[in-house]
Amino acid sequence: MRGIEARHALQAWHFLRESGVAPPNEMAAQTLGAAAQVPVKSGHDVLVVYADGSVRYLNHSGMVAVVAPPAPEDLATAAGEWLAIAEQLSNAIGPWTEPLPEVPRGHARVLMLTPSGPRFGQGPYDALSRDTAAGAFLQAATKALQIVVRLAS
């Protein structure tokens, strides 16, 4: 369906996959969302941007920020750049079919949300930051996060 929120499309594909329906090859790796889970002192912060322009930020302290589309221009630009990097990673990583593993303290996760399922990488934050692809993903996420935090203040 056209015009539905990316989160709803992802949820629909989740249930379709559970029922044995696979997305067509041309849409299987389409990145409908990108998420970064990064370590902070007492846990993790999570930032998610969706292809429809919505954004969710979950701070380790319990603070939540939600940006509904249309996002301000600077955030829309940063989110678009991040999703483009996520799309490249999505094409290089296959879908994960098991429950996602826990992210240990001090580790980070880069996550692409696709109709075929989540595609991700995780490991020590420092190691992911030094990796060319994951580092670009995390830098783009940080740029978007800075804008979200400014908007939430």
Question: For the segment 93-147, what is each residue's pLDDT rounded down to a tens digit?
Answer: 989 989 999 999 899 999 999 999 999 999 999 999 999 999 999 999 999 999 9
Q: pTM for this structure?
A: 0.92
Decide: helix, strand or coil at residue 18.
Answer: helix
Question: For the segment 40-80, what is each residue's pLDDT rounded down to a tens digit?
Answer: 987 899 999 999 999 999 999 889 999 988 889 999 999 99
Predicted local confidence at residue 1, as pLDDT: 63
Q: Which residue in this structure is represented by tokens 């203040």? A: 153
